[in-house]
Each structure stands twice: as structure tokens, then as C-alpha cells.
Structure 1
Amino acid sequence: MENKKFEVIIIGGSYAGLSAAMALGRSLRKVLIIDSGSACNRQTPHSHNFITQDGVPPAKISEKAKNQVLQYKSVAFINDLAIKAEKTENGFNVDTQSGEKLVTSKIIFATGIKDLVPPVPGFKECWGISLIHCPYCHGFEFRTKKTGILANGERAFHLASLVSNLTNDLIILTTGKADFKPEQFAKLEAHRIPIIETEIAALEHQEGQVKNIVFTNGDREIFDALYAGFPFKQHSDIPLFLGCELTEQGYIRVNEFQQTTIDGVYACGDNTSRMRSVAAAVASGNLAGAMTNAALTKELF
């Protein structure tokens, strides 16, 4: 790369990163997007609950967004992996896997999170297709279908309340002793939502579409969809190395302007919020771009 100095480097070039880049490009800021091409929803067949893009494959949304963003000539994009960043007196140095050494005034992390999917046969293949995380993103497509909720306690109860509006054929799978308050047990019973405590041995599926759940006791049960919330970690360790604080849940801590706890560093998208959708990522990216531009303006004007 010829010119290695930028006003903003955006690490992560999916929906949030591209949205931030558009806001900055429209303000003529010199921006570089670094993206390794490993979007967390790359296995998901269709994106939903995003007006104008409902039902469109996620890759098509990001491809169209990238083409539009790169019409702004002050914005550049490289397929690479950021591996290091360090704070300097005037900004930051950023190193990439390919050996690029870059300089920037501000950084925006749009790096997403990495789901720690358990090594149960079928889980990885079904994740994002019929093993799903969000009723708003996927629930309508599985309405009236036989649905399982792979969770326990408060999370299972919360999901059951939401999903019960979409289907009457609902079972909670706690993979161990059910952990509900007496009033929650009573409410689940009143809504005729049974609980299975047996652990899951495998998901039988066809190209990611769940067909059967196989339990460790040898039983099988037909299902069409399964909700789950798995642990996660930050997709990039760089924010931590820079000193960015995380919340108790493991998200990058940001204020109402998407600014992290490190001056000059912003973050947006799934790495900052439980609201995990394309629409939410685009919104937070737009705000991060605008606020980064505002910070640059304040310094330069």
C-alpha cells in the first residue's frame, strides 16, 4: 500500500464497519477498512427484520454496501487481518498479517464476536440456519413449527415467552436439571411448554436443517428449529491489548456515542451489544462514524 497514513482505520468491514465508513467517507475523511472476510453470519442463508433488505442473503447486503461505500474516493478497503495496534503520541500504529504498517488518528473496531459453539455433532453445521439465536431475526420463518429452546433458567424463560407467540409446539431443553423459580414452572405449565432435562448427543440434519435431536439416553425427537445462546469471545484481541474495558457480559464497553474507554478508539456492531442483527449493526456503525468525524472536527477546527 502506497500511502500508509489515515485519519481513521476501521478494523472489520462487515455491516457496522461499512456503515461507519460511509458516514466518514461522506465527510471526506481519509479512511481505511481492514477486513479478513470472516463475518460471523456467513452461514446464515437470509437476513431478516431489516427494512429494504428483508430476506436478502447477508453476503449480498455486505457486497452492495461495500460497492456503495467505495464510491467515496477517500475510503479504501483491504482484505487483510489486523494483528496489532499500539497507541502513539499522535494516534495509533496498526500492523496487519500481510506486513502492512499503518498510521491513523482514530480507530473504529467493528470486529464482531466469535460464538463458542459446543462440539456436539451437528451444532456447527446448523448454527445460523436452523440452530438460531434470535426470534426477531429468524422466528417468523419457523412460525407454527416444532421448536426447541436450548437454555435454562432466566434465558430459557425469556425465550419461551417470546417464541410462544410464534408457535404452540415448543419444548425447553435444559441439558441438565431445570433451574426455574416456582412461579416460572407454573407459568410454563400453564402455557403447556414441557421441559426435557436429558443432554443432547447430536443434531441430525440435512444441509443445516435440523431433523432430529438425539439425546444421550438414545431417545430421538423431531424438531424443525432450535434456539440457543452460546458463550462468545471477542473476535479480535486488539481492543483488550489497547486497554479497552469490557462489560460483565464480555462486550466492549462504549458510551452513548460508541466511544470506548480509550481515547480515540470507537467500537460498533456485535462486539458492543446484545442487539445482534444487521439492522442494529448498521445503526451503531453509522453513529460510530459520525462521532469519530465529530472528534476529528473538534481537533482540527
Structure 2
Amino acid sequence: MTYHCAVIGGGPAGLNAALVLARSLKTTLLIDNNTARNKVTQESHNFITRDGITPEEFRRKAHEDLYKYPEIQIQNQTLTDIVKTEDCFQLTTDNGETFEAQNIILATGLKDILPDIKGIHDVYGRSVFSCPFCDGYESKDEPLVYFAHDDNTFHAVKMISNWNKDITICTNGKNILTEKESETLLNKGFQIINNEIKAIHSNDGNLAHVEFTDGSILDKNRGFVSYRMEQSTDFFKTLGLKMNELGGIETDPYGRTNISGIYAAGDNAEGPPQLIIAASLGSKAAIGVIMDSVEKQFES
């Protein structure tokens, strides 16, 4: 069969898009390999009625909602190829299965690229975080370390200070802060350590201390880290999708891309990367699919 829409990615954007499509009576294929970037997260926040939910529980509850609708089929596979044919899109998965769909919503999300510091992956999502809106509240009472990595450090520290002003900034020996930025931070009471980091030490994901190459030690149990995000797939390249200046897929307010029949939603298109924002963008992209479908019916 040819599905009306294939949704690629089972994060909040893809899940909500699939729900809206099914409730609009459209046959929907959801392809999800369960590798969302928030899998390292212990709790998800800022989603009303779901505050503090784990990513696994959020996904389970979402699937319960989706399974109510016979219009939806869920495939737990990895999409490896998308080819535009004369009438539709042909999709191939990692186990060799092929599917056809008239439209596609790319909700493949982003992946986090962390600084090259020994031990950072052991604590990421457990005691060292990237988003103060997600984890700032739980970090408000404990002295923090901030692992700086890029020229966004000054802005990031300012944002984190909304929750906690006891922050030690570790630049890892890099010239990241300007003289004016360093002066401002020091005058505001922040500490700056410019020594190169040898390793981050932890116990079962709980930050214990930071070891520097000069032998000095910084005892901290919680912190934040500078990071960057990249598209989690290369479909934007193979399909010829236009990108915006922030590295996301360029869309209109209803998720339409520069290629007819392809929509994008969630972190891979717009930010900031928040659960509730991604879900709303998935809903809007699905509405865009329905709007365009209805318009085509009235054109013929």
C-alpha cells in the first residue's frame, strides 16, 4: 500500500505529527529506531501534565495513544534511503524493507556533539547537563561547574545564572572568553579556571571532581557543558533540502520545505530544543500535510 504520509522519527515531533495525521483519517507510517537525543535524560521537564517524565515513559504513553488508531502503522527500524519516484516517495529501511508514501515528515531530530574531554560521556545527562531550562531547577542549590567549549560560553553562563550564580567556568586551556567577557564574569562573582582538563571523574554517572593536567583538582558534583548540535541524518543532503542559517531544515510555519511533499518538524527544523516545542511543530507539520492534501482535492 501507499501511505498518505510517512513520519520519520519517533521523538515528540514525530509522535505528535502521527497522532494528528491519524485523527485526520490519513494512513500513516511511523518509522522510529528509538535513538532520540534525549535518551540520556533522566527526566523531561516543561511539558504540562508530563513534567518529570522519563523519555521511555513518554514514548510508551505516546505509543499507547497512537495504537488506538488503525490508520497508524509503527515500524521500529532505521530508514536508510528515500527516493522520489514519479508518484510518491520510496523508503528503504536497514533490514531491506521498502515502503511508499505520498508525503514525508522528517522528524529525525539532532545529535549532541560534546567537547573532547575524557569522562564527559559518563556524566552527561546524569550530573552534567546542556539545557538550563530542562535541568536548571534541579541545579539551583549546588555549586556548579561549566565546561566551556565555544564562543557561546558567555551567553550560556548568563542564562544558567538565572538558576544558580555559584558557577566555576572551566575553559580547558582554550581562549574562549574575550577580555571584556572574563572581566564581566569575574566582577559578577563567577570563577574562571583556564587550566587544561585531564579528565572528569565520576561514580556511576555522578560527577565527583575535575582533574587538570597540572595536577590540581576541582571538587564539583553537578554542572553544565557547552555543546553543539548536528542533524542526526544526511537526508537533508540527499534530498536537496534548503537549510537555515542555524543548520536546521528551512521550513515555512507549517513545516513545508523547498521540496513538494516533504515536511520537517522538531529540533531538526526549528529550536529551541524543547520537548513541548518539538511536539507543537510536529502538530503544525501534520496540519500542513492535511491542508495541502485538501487543496489538491479541490484543484482536481
- TM-score norm. by structure 1 comes to 0.93
Q: Which runs of 5+ in 1 are unaligned?
A: none
Q: Which runs of 5+ in 2 are unaligned?
A: none
Residues 139 and 163, structure 1, Cα contact 8 Å, conserved in 2: yes
Residues 50 and 279, structure 1, Cα contact 8 Å, conserved in 2: yes
Q: Residue in 1 aligned with 2:196?
A: 199
Aligned-pair Cα RMSD in Å: 1.7
Q: Which runs of structure 2 are paired with 1:1-301 in the superposition (5 Å)?
A: 3=1, 5-151=2-148, 154-301=151-298
Cα shift at 1:220: 1.2
Residues 198 and 215, structure 1, Cα contact 8 Å, conserved in 2: yes
Cα shift at 1:119: 4.5
Distance in 1 (CA, whole Å) between partners of 2:182 and 2:228 is 25
Cα shift at 1:48: 1.0
Cα shift at 1:226: 2.2
Cα shift at 1:18: 0.5
Identity %: 31
Secondary structure of the corresponding residue to residue 249 of structure 1: coil
Cα shift at 1:154: 4.7
Distance in 2 (CA, whole Å) between partners of 1:279 and 1:295 is 25
Residues 33 and 78, structure 1, Cα contact 8 Å, conserved in 2: yes
Secondary structure of the corresponding residue to residue 73 of structure 2: strand
Secondary structure of the corresponding residue to residue 245 of structure 2: coil
Cα–Cα, structure 1 residues 179 and 234, in superposed 2: closer, same or farther, change >3 Å? Answer: closer
Give per-residue Cα distances to partners, 1:267-299, cap 9 Å, x unaligned. Answer: 111212331121111111111111111111111
How many residues are paired up? 298
Distance in 2 (CA, whole Å) between partners of 1:298 and 1:268 is 21
Distance in 2 (CA, whole Å) between partners of 1:289 and 1:229 is 33
Residues 142 and 224, structure 1, Cα contact 8 Å, conserved in 2: no
Distance in 2 (CA, whole Å) between partners of 1:180 and 1:40 is 28
- TM-score norm. by structure 2 comes to 0.93
Distance in 2 (CA, whole Å) between partners of 1:289 and 1:12 is 14
